[in-house]
Amino acid sequence: MEAAYGGFLRRCAEAAERLSSLFREKANVLVVGHNDADALSSLGILCGTAHLLDATYVAVSVPRMEEVFADESYREFDAVVFVDMGSGYLNLIGERISAPVLVLDHHKPLPVERPPNVFQVNPHDFGIDGSTMVSASGVTYLVCRNVTEEARVYSPVAVVGALGDLQDKDHGRRLVGLNELVVREAEELGLMRVEEDLILYGKGFRPIHEALASTNSPFLPGITGNEAAALKLVLSAGIEPRNGDSWRTISDLSPEEKARLVEALASHLSSVGAPQSLMSELTGYVYELTGEEPGTPLRDAREYATLLNACGKTGNAWIGISIAMGSRGWVMREAERVLAEYRSSVARAMEFAMRREVREEMRNIVVLKGGTEIDPRQISSVASILSSSNLLPPDKPLVALAQEGGIVKVSARASSALVEQGLDLGEVMRVAAERVGGRGGGHKMAAGAEFPADRTTLFLIEVDGLVGEVLARARAGKQLRLV
């Protein structure tokens, strides 16, 4: 398998050499990342490796690139490493930073000349799809394991980042490509076990009905967010929810009980008109971190990702980075508190998003108008959850908006069917945002943008037009590039 990725892995080794010499020389290194689970995993792996080498570094997590350049403090460092960001900003980085820069990213790079001081590691440069084959945490891991063998302990954290970026798009929600290579290394080290099982949130530590009601990915109509309905479903499946004084968890169920639960869920979902495809998302590959305490959110890689995301999206990135580096104890207790608060605030945002009147259907897109009711830091979670529900027309991408101050933050999602027809939301967001004086970009299926709030209508018209144009031409059988 390694052979197929030879060029890319050699690039990782080259980046590792640069990183090791910076670390060995005790250079003052600034490490910058985004604030989602993949970014915090990447920051954790990189800082953990720096820590192993007793290197000097400062890590920051920022919601957007512009914040890095909001003041001049980045100039005080001997080198800058960007993780999970940077490939879309090579121009800006080259203009502003004169020190050596390392970019470890999986977003599609801009087709621009590479500034001489920037060394980029990006799977797209090697024909490897960065939206399904490897995330930033995987890239960072594949670099760091060349810096020191000891960094291999972070292989499970790399898997967490990939799942945080929803890269489990293969049949059975399996990770493939370079992600699979990392999974295999984690298994060989005895740090991970992969099994096919139910994929429900908190299945190892929550009461069964609570696990069902807290499952957001996929969104289960009538069950997600409704514990009473979930309990009714458990009872209707003939499953005893309690064992004496304590609640049973999904992990406690026998295979036969699990099968009954699946059957009850399937018949519930078909009775509410949910698509059959939903069931196939409920079972699949489960990535278990065997070195973690059973019954904690860190034991399951998808739940671990949710915890990191909660830290990043609530201004508590440092907690997530520390967890990913390996801190436990009181840091873990803080993380669990942040997670609980985050889940209830996302639940409130979802309740708002579910109201029909906040969604508007345009010719080619569906718009969710979050206004100031939805925290811009949570708009991407809300968009992900909503796009996995069956409430939206499958043939139109979702464009979710939230506003803070004079800035609107956008998170857009498209189905894989639309992507197969040629839609590239990252490209659409980039072009539309630039036309209204903002910035955008991302992946084909999931992308984002930001722009001044008074341009909202204009932006939506641009997006609607671009999506319509791409789909019409793709449907006519032609391949084209925007702009």
Residues that bind Mn ion (CB under 5 A): 38, 84, 135-136, 165
One-letter amino acid at 227 equals: E
> CB-wise, 165 or 375, nearer to Mn ion?
165
Nearest alpha carbon to residue 433 among 445, 425, 423, 441 = 441
Tokens 């008109």 map to which residue? 273
Tokens 């992946």 map to which residue? 443
> CB-wise, 136 or 208, nearer to Mn ion?
136
DSSP secondary structure letter of residue 397: -
Q: How far is the CB of 106 from Mn ion (least distance, A)?
A: 6
How far is it between the farthest Cα atoms of the chain? 67
> CB-wise, 165 or 257, nearer to Mn ion?
165
Q: How far is the CB of 107 from Mn ion (least distance, A)?
A: 7
> CB-wise, 135 or 249, nearer to Mn ion?
135
Q: How far is the CB of 253 from Mn ion (least distance, A)?
A: 34
> CB-wise, 165 or 185, nearer to Mn ion?
165
Positive or negative CA dihedral for 67, 167, 8, 20? positive
DSSP secondary structure letter of residue 115: P
Positive or negative CA dihedral for 411, 86, 179, 312? negative
- DSSP H or E stretch at residue 9: helix 6-24
Distances (CA, A) of 49 to 56, 57, 118, 432: 11, 11, 21, 39
> CB-wise, 261 or 305, nearer to Mn ion?
305
Contacts of 481 (CB under 8 A, 6+ apart): none
User: What angle in degrees, to the nearest 10, is found between the helix axes of 456-475 and 425-435?
Assistant: 140
Displacement of CA 23 from its chain's centroid (Å) = 28
Cα distance between residue 235 and residue 328, in whole Å: 37
Q: How far is the CB of 386 from Mn ion (least distance, A)?
A: 20
Q: How many CB atoms lie within 10 A of CB 75?
A: 12
Q: How far is the CB of 140 from Mn ion (least distance, A)?
A: 10
Distances (CA, A) of 153 to 158, 295, 338: 10, 21, 25
Cα distance between residue 397 and residue 347, in whole Å: 22
Contacts of 421 (CB under 8 A, 6+ apart): 471, 474, 475
Q: How far is the CB of 103 from Mn ion (least distance, A)?
A: 13
Beta strands in 248-335 (DSSP E): 283-289
The vertex-437 CA angle with 447 and 445, nearest 5°, equals: 10
Q: How far is the CB of 155 from Mn ion (least distance, A)?
A: 17
Cα distance between residue 249 and residue 210, in whole Å: 9
Q: How far is the CB of 132 from Mn ion (least distance, A)?
A: 12
> CB-wise, 413 or 435, nearer to Mn ion?
413
Q: How far is the CB of 19 from Mn ion (least distance, A)?
A: 19
Q: How far is the CB of 38 from Mn ion (least distance, A)?
A: 3
> CB-wise, 38 or 180, nearer to Mn ion?
38
> CB-wise, 136 or 367, nearer to Mn ion?
136
Q: How far is the CB of 36 from Mn ion (least distance, A)?
A: 7
Q: How far is the CB of 115 from Mn ion (least distance, A)?
A: 22
**Which tokens belong to 395?**
């043939």
> CB-wise, 135 or 155, nearer to Mn ion?
135
> CB-wise, 131 or 249, nearer to Mn ion?
131
Residue nearest to Mn ion (CB): 38
> CB-wise, 304 or 459, nearer to Mn ion?
304
340-365 burial: b if 16+ Cβ within 10 Å, else e = eebbebbeebbeebbeeebbeebebb
**102 pairs with which residues across the strands?**
81, 119
Classify residue 260 as exposed, middle or buried by CB count within 10 Å of its CB (0-12, 13-18, 19+). middle
Cα distance between residue 334 and residue 250, in whole Å: 25
